[in-house]
Amino acid sequence: MTQKQDTWNATLYDASHSFVSSFGTALIDLLNPQKGEHILDLGCGTGDLAALLDQSGVSAVGVDKSEAMVEQARSKYPTLAFDVKDATNLGFYNEFDAVFSNATLHWVKPPEQALSNIYASLKSGGRFVAEFGGKGNVKQMTDELMKQLDQQGAPNSQERFPWYYPSIGEYTTLMEQAGFRVIFAQHFDRPTPLEGQDGLRNWISMFGSSFLEGLSISEQDIVISNTESALKERLYKEGQWVADYKRIRTIGIKE
């Protein structure tokens, strides 16, 4: 099977989407890392949260499926450990006191395989602390984007949808089936400001590139411009785009 091309732009990610890491600091509070713990940052991106974990006195290992992201993380934080790994094929067994994952697991399919790998990675009594997109995440944005794709005659707009956005009941059930005892679960709205007047356009380019595959540059511009026009009244506020994020946070214990 051919491996999907790495489409992540690590420089754009750091320049225009730093909110991903900044919102992740609250998740670190939920993780409550303790000095001396060995913690896996699953989907580490360009390494900012792994660096914060390191500063708290833990031994952090960052992994990400994207080679571009890992390369950027290594460049920014050369003393920390980063590796290219897929959440569905981690290869760790009873190694970590905690697995921490911010804004990653909605990219991972099948979720059951990821949870099995996370469970195997943890020591007995270890905890899994995660936040990711839940049911309804960016629904206004993606519904409009797919509508514009249909109007341009782009084939299979529904099949271009790259994410897994479960309900809280669905995901916690999968966690329990993997062996976790779920001790915390929350599904909440988190309106998320996007940087600059081109915030929505940059968001689509960064995270929604699969929607635009096979379209010419001019066709892509028409789709994005029409999406912006249709959403401006709802999602553009005081000179800034605000994405309609809905997130799941959860904690599971390996017993």
Confidence of residue 181 (pLDDT cuts 50, 70, 90): very high
- pLDDT, residue 18, reads 47
Tell me the pLDDT tens digit for each residue of 20-77.
555 678 899 999 999 999 999 999 999 999 999 999 999 999 999 999 999 999 999 9
CATH class of the domain whose range is 10-138+164-195+245-254: alpha beta
Percentage of residues in the chain with pLDDT exceeding 90?
Answer: 82
Question: According to the model, what pLDDT value does residue 12 have?
Answer: 52
The pLDDT tens digits for 71-106 are 999 999 999 999 999 999 999 999 999 999 999 999
Comparing 60-64, 180-184, 192-196, the range with the smallest average pLDDT is 192-196
The token pair at 30 is: 């939920």
Nearest to residue 21, comparing CAs of 47, 58, 1, 39? 47
Q: Is the pLDDT of residue 231 over 90?
A: yes
- Count of other CB atoms within 10 angstroms of residue 124: 8
Task: Assess whether pLDDT exceeds 80 at residue 161.
Answer: yes
What pLDDT sits at residue 26?
Answer: 86
Range 139-154 average pLDDT: 94
217 half-sphere exposure, CB direction, 13 A CA radius: 0
Count of alpha carbons within 13 Å of 17, Cβ hemisphere only?
19
What residues contact 132, with CB distance under 8 A and at least 6 apart?
Answer: 101, 102, 103, 104, 105, 106, 247, 248
How far does Cα 4 stand from its chain's mean position? 17
Per-residue pLDDT at 6: 47
pLDDT at site 4 = 44
Say if CB 115 and CB 93 are below 8 A apart: no
pLDDT given for residue 21 in this prediction: 54
Q: What does residue 4 show for φ and ψ, rounded to 5 degrees?
A: -65, 135
- Exposed, middle or buried: residue 134 (CB in 10 Å: 0-12, 13-18, 19+)? buried
Q: Given this model, what pLDDT does residue 22 score?
A: 57
The predicted pLDDT at position 189 comes to: 95
